[in-house]
Amino acid sequence: MRKNNQSIGSNAVLALLVAVAALGCAGQQQRGVATDAPSTTERNKGVVREFYVGGSLRLAPTTLIAEGEWVFAEASGRAELRNGRVYEPHSAWVFHVEDGRIVEIREFIDTKHSYEVFLSP
């Protein structure tokens, strides 16, 4: 197992996403707009959890934060490559969910780790 040596960039991205979600919640409440019921929030988290099944690189969400149609996720995974290297990505994701379907995804990855595994000599 690899030591946790994530770059500060990926931690900073996650912190930024959490801050944006928190500001969005506070802003809606201050304007008197009703926030979504917990059932919608949990349903959107479930849609995102379903997204993470299967594939050659299995990712598992480790953190899910939802606000309305937006779900912020932190995920990690593990894959052994044919050249013997191990890819263990830690990433942050932003999902836009409408009517139970993902309509937009933004992914923020640890580019230093990706470079070291796939491109460094």
pLDDT in tens, 70-84: 999 999 999 999 999
Is the pTM here over 0.75, yes or no?
no
Q: What is the DSSP string of 71-86?
A: EEEEEEE-EE-TTS-E
Residue range 90-119: average pLDDT? 96
Distance between CA atoms of 28 and 15, rounded to whole angstroms? 20
At which residue do the structure tokens 């991205």 appear?
Answer: 13
Alpha-carbon Rg for the chain in angstroms? 16
pLDDT in tens, 100-109: 999 999 999 9
> 56 falls in which pLDDT band (50, 70, 90)?
confident
> Positive or negative CA dihedral for 98, 101, 105, 110?
positive
How far from the centroid of its chain's Cα atoms is residue 57's Cα?
Answer: 15
CATH for the stretch 8-118: 3.10.450
At which residue do the structure tokens 């299967």 appear?
Answer: 54
In the chain, domain spans: 8-118
